[in-house]
Structure 1
Amino acid sequence: MEKIDNFDSLQASISSALVSTTRSAGQIANEDVSFHRSLDPTFGTSLDRQNARLLGLAERLLGSATANTEIVRPPRLSDIDAVESNWRAVVDVIDSLLERADTALDEFTGAVKRLSPGLVEQKADATKAPKTSKIAAALKNHSIEKPQLQFEHVPTNNETIPFKPLLITKPHAVVPLETSAEAAYAHPYQTEIEQYQYPDEMYTQKDPILYHPFETTTATLVDTEDAVEEMLEELKSADVIAIDLEHHDQRSYIGVVSLMQISTRDKDWIVDTLKPWRRKLSCLNEVFANPRIIKVLHGAYMDVVWLQRDLGLYLVGLFDTHYAARALGYTGGSLAFLLKKFANVDAQKQYQMADWRIRPLPQELFDYARSDTHYLLYIFDCMRNELIERSDFSKPDHEGDKIWDVLQKSSEVALQRYEHPIYDYELGQGSMGWYKMLSRTPALLSKEQFSVFRAIHQWRDNVAREDDDSNHYVMPNHQILTLAKLMPTKRSELLSAAQPITQAVRLRADELVSVIVKAIEAGENGPEMVDVLSKVEVQLPRRQTAQVAAQRPLASYLPQPPTTTAISTSNLPLRSSISTFWGNAFKSSAHQERDMSSLSQISLAIPLPPLTAEIFADPPEHQTPVQESAPPPAESPLPTPPAREDDEIFVLKEKGRKRKRTDAVPTDNMAAQTDEVALPDEEEELERERVEKKKAKKEARRARKAAEAGGFAAAADAEEDEQPFDYNAAPSVLNPPRESRQEMKERRKKEKNPYAKSMDAPKGMARGQKERAGKTMTYK
């Protein structure tokens, strides 16, 4: 308590000193310092001395702040100008101080520091908390102590040897445990699953047994060893049970089974699998491996692995409702879809991603976990009957047996084995490798960036194994790609690029910066990204499927000549050397050079002429058909059909002309088709007709012009033959003759219509060019 009082007094004195200094600096800045320097020289000397002292203190503070950091040379503040020139470096130091202070506060408040078990139990017993706060804590709660730290067998995450089964005894064994364990830790129940025969009740159609009302029943919580024994005795009398798991993988490297739900026709159990004695649950193999009891699960692909990894449990007689939904062709295959379809229950999927480590479980999570298995046996009955109805048992080899298909798929799922995740730095293979992430990214990294990418990815995996956290909790995938492209070499650059900053990156920023610097130096002489990816593709398993075969070039489908040797393609990835439809395939031009000499030996079923350059060349203006001196005789000549008048070469309507038929006799196989274009002789005839018609039009135009010119000349001659004007006989202008009534009407009518005289103008020459169908005047 004395230390806290001393700290409070020290903090008060420092705060008061800072406030007075700030006020004094603000008052001085508002005055004219240069004017006071000119009035009192001693003021200027004192001011310079204080400036030097403050700069020295600031420089010492920067040196202390950069101690034991990645900043080797702190900024130097020799004068006022140095502050402006080194301002960026000063800001970096301040940012580093703020980050370290933030980290220290997180450790002090407990956001990073692991809580003690007593504190966790104290928080768990706080029943006065509102319901909403409990649900929020259940959905995302990082302050829970890792339960795996209290296990009798704490995970180390650094195993490199094959996974050894956790079994101590092997109930319902066909092969003893010692014999099955000698074969390099094989699946302990592999023989039992492969030889298992499902009971005849699977092919018997029965009325579904309705589940008990959910509101009037409850589940039994199993959190002690005695409760496990009581549950086991009741499960032994059942003929079918439903099983489901709740898994947590955010604050664990390999994940941890947090909850197990088991249901019979009459009762539900919720088993707490986070107890230190959790491996004693392997005694449930007396039920799980019992061939008399059917185990119903939905989507058991990962549940089978988790059961043997954490609890040492194996399933003999599995029925997976997910494969049943696929066999029946349902529009959905999730458990929520089946609950809605058969039980009319809406699953509360907002709790699916909850933190299942929280204890005690809120009622909402408890009910959600129970609902996963409470209705599952009724769903199993309904789907089994539907599979029987839609199966055709008359076909041989179980061709129409849908139940047999579901049982075979379920047995394959039960035969899965868990293996320790081993990190592969070179090729990035495995569930924790980098290859999958990089292969889905279209970016092409340089040698230095690729080296940084692999180094950061390996650093993240090492930190996750050491802290027993998931890889995504340490650093998300997008940050690895961002840091690989930017390659930051300073703490400040790293923290600004890795947004949002995780706790692991913030606490180990200096370590990560050193990893990036070393990776940049090693990447200068390192491998290219494309070269490494090509090595990975070569080692991938070959897939001889129709989908991959459809992606090969067309030349690879052509049959091989009988005289040549089959080309080996064992070193080519993802490519089949034999096609089930075409037979052996040529080598692909995508990987090897194509042998052009083998094209001449290709023999197809359709007869083709020799592939010479004359066939693909444009026809000349005057082409004379050339006949071969000695055409090769056909092995099986076809009978020549009798010539008909309709078997003529025709030309589609072109340039507004009608189709003209001409007699033409084909001279070879290529010209024997009736849908060819016109021959050169016909084209010349058409061109000749066009020239003659154009010439006739020009002559008609000249004659018309000459006739018009002759009319003008005749009119001129007529004017010359007229008599001179007689002024005496001309009408008087002062006394004009009177118009008749009819002439007056016509004159007024013309005056009212100003456009009446427009029709008296001479007409223009008629248009000589007319557009016709198939021909345009723009392009002649």
Structure 2
Amino acid sequence: MDELRVIETPADFDDAVRRIGEGEGPIAVDAERASGFKYSQRAYLIQMYRRGAGTFLFDPPQIPDFSALQSVMADEEWVLHAASQDLACLREVGLEPDRIFDTELAARLLGMPRVGLAAVVEELLGIHLAKEHSAADWSTRPLPQPWLTYAALDVELLVDVRDRLVERLVETEKTSLAAEEFDAVLRREPKPVGPEPWRRLSGIHAIRSPRSLAVARELWLARDEFASSTDVAPGRLVPDASILAVVKALPRTRKALADLRAFTGRASRTELDRWWAAVERGLTTEDLPATRIPNDAPPPPRAWAMRNPEADARLRFAKAAVTEVAEAMDMPVENLLTPDHLRRLAWHPPAAPDLGSIRAELEALGARPWQIDATAQRISVAFVDASQSVLDAEKPVS
């Protein structure tokens, strides 16, 4: 293979735009970030391939304006693998598809046993695709040739994969439902950041003391602020486990914090004053967090049998029915219907579990039309059967 070059100059960018515009068919797109290394989720490399045009590797930090590329791609189908992972960083630079084909999602809907890109390429094309650089720091400059080769292969085979998947979708009569799923991925709003993002700290669920939670909050916020200002992944500065070690020990002096051997990380000692100030705020604040935050989600299903036997029966009967449908359609049950939708429906059912009511509830929860068509009738029947089973269990034995 010839040496690959990254597009970073205006002249090379203009030439790439022209060639992509002159190509034909769908455009394969992928992006590489520096997750685990950088705080931001920006793209540090964007790869594209189009038949009749070739492969292109763009360096986003060096390209201030992608609008010319967007204009030649806007009306074309973009092919991505696990599109939800890349859409945000593509949008950040002004690249916004109108139509997508998600090869990973198509593989799921077809019931393929493994849906990673390498596995899908091997099954459909018989080509072994090494994935040894998937976790690399793509902010590195210059990017090594082996990394660029890996990145190019991610898109060079993607259109061929798409064509094989299209054939299978036609054969299994799943073309229209796949289109609904692709559009749902494209139109899905990003999850809003919760009011207390520090509660995402790994292991925080085991902490019950409001004072300890206050220390955890202040340390998390201090780490997040420093990580953002330096564009370094928070866990590389101070791992979650180190924050939890401090929270459990609750050191009362700066020296006690410094002596805590479980408090590790590249910035654990170089920024010790920062962390001790956070610990002090947590130890002295009157603004203590609640031990639990209220939410509208149903409780864990394992608790349903005792707390709400009717809901437990509805969930068990409906899960069995939906699983049967998923097996008949040869796809994972979670792609047939989001498990959270079924749990919420079983916990808060409509007053009358008739077909119309179930369909309306599923639509309100965000289920797609094809999912509602495939499951609503079975769920309605399952709810009726569940109610009868509860009544039968309550009848006295004669």
On whether the aligned pair clears a TM of 0.5, the verdict is yes
Name the structure 1 match of 2:264.
Answer: 501
Q: Distance in 2 between matches of 1:502 and 1:550?
A: 44
Question: 1:265 and 1:454, CA in 2 relative to 1: closer, same or farther beyond 3 A?
Answer: same
Question: 1:228 and 1:550, CA in 2 relative to 1: closer, same or farther beyond 3 A?
Answer: farther
Name the structure 1 match of 2:79.
Answer: 296
Question: 1:365 and 1:580, CA in 2 relative to 1: closer, same or farther beyond 3 A?
Answer: farther
Asked if 2 retains the 8 angstrom alpha-carbon contact of 1:464 and 1:470, the reply is: yes
Residue pairs, 1:349-388, within 5 angstroms:
349-388=131-170
Asked if 1 retains the 8 angstrom alpha-carbon contact of 2:7 and 2:58, the reply is: yes
1:274 aligns with 2:38: no
Name the structure 1 match of 2:47.
Answer: 261
Asked if 2 retains the 8 angstrom alpha-carbon contact of 1:304 and 1:416, the reply is: no
Name the structure 2 match of 1:223.
Answer: 8
Could you tell me which amino acid in structure 2 is paired with residue 515 of structure 1? Answer: A
Q: Distance in 2 between matches of 1:579 and 1:338?
A: 45
Name the structure 2 match of 1:407.
Answer: 179
Could you tell me which amino acid in structure 1 is paired with residue 65 of structure 2? Answer: K
Q: Distance in 1 between matches of 2:208 and 2:47?
A: 47
For the aligned residue pairs, the C-alpha RMSD in angstroms reads 3.6
Tell me which of the two structures has the higher relative contact order, counting C-alpha pairs closer than 8 angstroms and 6 or more residues apart: 2
Name the structure 2 match of 1:252.
Answer: 38
Asked if 2 retains the 8 angstrom alpha-carbon contact of 1:488 and 1:513, the reply is: no
- Which of 270, 280, 286 is the matching residue for 1:517? 280
Name the structure 1 match of 2:172.
Answer: 390
- Which of 437, 443, 451 is the matching residue for 2:201? 437
Q: Distance in 2 between matches of 1:228 and 1:287?
A: 13
- Which of 454, 468, 491 is the matching residue for 2:231? 468
> How far does residue 241 in structure 1 lie from its aligned partner after superposition?
1.3
Q: Distance in 1 between matches of 2:70 and 2:199?
A: 38
- Runs (4 or more) in structure 1 with deviation over 6 Å come to 543-551
> How far does residue 221 in structure 1 lie from its aligned partner after superposition?
3.4
Could you tell me which amino acid in structure 1 is paired with residue 29 of structure 2? Answer: I
Name the structure 2 match of 1:198.
Answer: none
Q: Distance in 2 between matches of 1:604 and 1:379?
A: 52
Question: 1:350 and 1:605, CA in 2 relative to 1: closer, same or farther beyond 3 A?
Answer: closer
Asked if 2 retains the 8 angstrom alpha-carbon contact of 1:460 and 1:471, the reply is: yes
- Which of 282, 289, 305 is the matching residue for 2:88? 305
Asked if 1 retains the 8 angstrom alpha-carbon contact of 2:37 and 2:137, the reply is: no
- Which of 554, 560, 578 is the matching residue for 2:309? 554
Q: Distance in 2 between matches of 1:608 and 1:573?
A: 26
Q: Distance in 2 between matches of 1:527 and 1:412?
A: 36
Question: 1:342 and 1:254, CA in 2 relative to 1: closer, same or farther beyond 3 A?
Answer: same
| SS, match of residue 260 in structure 1 | strand
Deviation string 1:395-434 (CA, Å, 9 cap, x unpaired) is xxxxxxx111222111122224568x8673xxx2xxxx12
Aligned length: 334
Q: Percent identity?
A: 23
> How far does residue 604 in structure 1 lie from its aligned partner after superposition?
5.5
Name the structure 1 match of 2:71.
Answer: 286
Name the structure 2 match of 1:193.
Answer: none
Q: Distance in 1 between matches of 2:311 and 2:393?
A: 19
| SS, match of residue 160 in structure 2 | helix
Question: 1:380 and 1:454, CA in 2 relative to 1: closer, same or farther beyond 3 A?
Answer: same
Could you tell me which amino acid in structure 2 is paired with residue 526 of structure 1? Answer: L
> How far does residue 515 in structure 1 lie from its aligned partner after superposition?
2.3
1:334 aligns with 2:116: yes
| SS, match of residue 98 in structure 2 | coil
> How far does residue 549 in structure 1 lie from its aligned partner after superposition?
7.2
Residue pairs, 1:66-145, within 5 angstroms:
none
> How far does residue 378 in structure 1 lie from its aligned partner after superposition?
0.9
Q: Distance in 1 between matches of 2:31 and 2:172?
A: 31
Asked if 1 retains the 8 angstrom alpha-carbon contact of 2:29 and 2:47, the reply is: yes
> How far does residue 552 in structure 1 lie from its aligned partner after superposition?
4.9
Deviation string 1:601-629 (CA, Å, 9 cap, x unpaired) is xx9679967xxxxxxxxxxxxxxxxxxxx
Name the structure 1 match of 2:17.
Answer: 232
Q: Distance in 2 between matches of 1:380 and 1:460?
A: 42
> How far does residue 303 in structure 1 lie from its aligned partner after superposition?
0.9
Unaligned runs of 5+ in 1: 1-214, 392-401, 559-571, 585-602, 610-668, 671-780
TM-score normalised to the size of structure 2? 0.73
| SS, match of residue 369 in structure 1 | helix
| SS, match of residue 504 in structure 1 | coil
Question: 1:242 and 1:551, CA in 2 relative to 1: closer, same or farther beyond 3 A?
Answer: farther
Q: Distance in 1 between matches of 2:125 and 2:9?
A: 32
Could you tell me which amino acid in structure 2 is paired with residue 362 of structure 1? Answer: P
Question: 1:383 and 1:526, CA in 2 relative to 1: closer, same or farther beyond 3 A?
Answer: closer
Question: 1:374 and 1:573, CA in 2 relative to 1: closer, same or farther beyond 3 A?
Answer: closer
Deviation string 1:495-533 (CA, Å, 9 cap, x unpaired) is 33264633333222123213212321226x83552xxx1
Using the TM superposition, name which of 456-465 and 443-452 deviates more.
Answer: 443-452
Name the structure 2 match of 1:480.
Answer: 243
Asked if 2 retains the 8 angstrom alpha-carbon contact of 1:243 and 1:261, the reply is: yes
Deviation string 1:190-235 (CA, Å, 9 cap, x unpaired) is xxxxxxxxxxxxxxxxxxxxxxxxx5x6755322111111111121
Question: 1:518 and 1:437, CA in 2 relative to 1: closer, same or farther beyond 3 A?
Answer: closer
TM-score normalised to the size of structure 1? 0.39
> How far does residue 551 in structure 1 lie from its aligned partner after superposition?
7.9
Name the structure 2 match of 1:345.
Answer: 127
- Which of 457, 482, 498 is the matching residue for 2:220? 457
Deviation string 1:541-594 (CA, Å, 9 cap, x unpaired) is x56999997785226689xxxxxxxxxxxxx9994154765999xxxxxxxxxx
| SS, match of residue 351 in structure 1 | coil
Structure of larger gyration radius: 1
Deviation string 1:328-377 (CA, Å, 9 cap, x unpaired) is 11000110111211333333322111121223322211110111011111
Deviation string 1:625-653 (CA, Å, 9 cap, x unpaired) is xxxxxxxxxxxxxxxxxxxxxxxxxxxxx
Asked if 2 retains the 8 angstrom alpha-carbon contact of 1:318 and 1:414, the reply is: yes
Q: Distance in 1 between matches of 2:300 and 2:249?
A: 41
Q: Distance in 1 between matches of 2:36 and 2:281?
A: 30
